Amino acid sequence: MQASVTACSQNDTADKTSARELSRRIKDRAFVEGFEKVGVVPARVLDAAHERLTTWLERGYHAGMAWMARDPQTRTNPRKLFPEARSVVVVALNYYTPYKHAEDPATGKVSRYAWGDDYHDVVGAKLRSLLAWIKEEVPQAEGKVCVDIQPMMDKAWAVEAGLGWIGKHTNLITPEYGSWVFIGELLLNIDLEYDKTRVDDHCGSCTLCIDACPTAAINEPYVVDSNKCISYATIELRDAELPRDIAQHLEGWFYGCDICQDVCPWNRFEQVTNEDRFQPRTGNVNATLTEAFELTPQTYAQRFRGSAMKRAKLSGLQRNARALLGANGAK
């Protein structure tokens, strides 16, 4: 009996050592793929995140994003998405480039995240490469790549994995790169050693993001009402015209909005990305407003192929341009 117990103990130790070593190697490989931060956590239900999501949905703060309300349990339970999931590898990729918006009324400002190639493609490709490497190392390994489109609460998982904390503007803030990061997850069917360290909330008494929002979309610290959000209105909203309260306070934003991130003190720690695909495409920092009306469905598809800006649709971009030109007194 004693020999059996000893053997089991030795096997457990060997398993833990193996999991620890594999976790370390996966992290090292993630850095090779170009990710700046990586954490590994168990594929469990995020109860607190689910409660916050439910409250947010009940208050109608998802606006017209009906998909957010579809089966919210899936967003906080990775096994609803990938039943075999045992571990979640969470990564962050810095996308900051050192360019500034021009204050030109003939142009509209584009959110920094959309300046270069579509992050879904860039982060997704890196995660697929990481998964292929894991499968070579562990033949029985299977996994699922998640980059925003899949119903995962990316920011909640990043917090769980110790990559940063959620700021009062509801974006993930990392101590090293501020909030200029993309997040992705890799769900795996294997056991790993899990990170237990979490990053404390360092927002303190700061309310710069809340005070700077021109539409008061940050209803309270850590809560954004999408109905009032410039980013939501200029990207996700499918109405023919922007809501009056938003159209009157665009402050030059044509696609998305970075105001709450631009004023965040933690973004003084920004570092230039090593990913060339995030360098700005021509016309993606400031868009010439009149050019939006010259686009046809064909030229629009060509112009925004591989760009996150295609999310707004041609009609949405033309609507946004019309609102900005109207605000600027142009015909």
Is 217:229 a contact under the CB 8 Å cutoff?
yes
**CA 294 – CA 299 distance, rounded (Å):** 9
Strands (E), 7-121: 37-42, 87-94, 107-110
| Residue 321 exposure: Cα atoms within 13 Å on the Cβ side | 20
- Cα–Cα nearest to 119, from 82, 146, 100: 146
- Strands 218-220 and 223-224, by their bridges, are antiparallel
Pairing of strands 143-146, 87-94: unpaired
The one-letter code for the residue type at 94 is: N
Q: Which amino acid is at 268?
A: R
Tokens 């890196």 belong to 126
307 three-state secondary structure: coil
* Residue 170 CB coordination number (10 Å): 18
Catalytic site includes residue 148: yes
Q: How far apart are CA 319 and CA 311, in angstroms?
A: 14
In sequence order, what are the residues at sequence separation of 6 or more whose Cβ sits closer than 8 angstroms to the Cβ of residue 308? 113, 114, 118, 119, 120
Backbone phi, then psi, for 172, in 5-degree steps? -70, 135
Q: What angle do CA 224, 174, 118 make, to 5 degrees?
A: 70
- Between CA 191 and CA 133 the distance in angstroms is 16
Task: Give me 252's structure tokens.
Answer: 């030059």
Marked catalytic residue, from 12, 71, 117, 148: 148
Catalytic residue ranges: 148
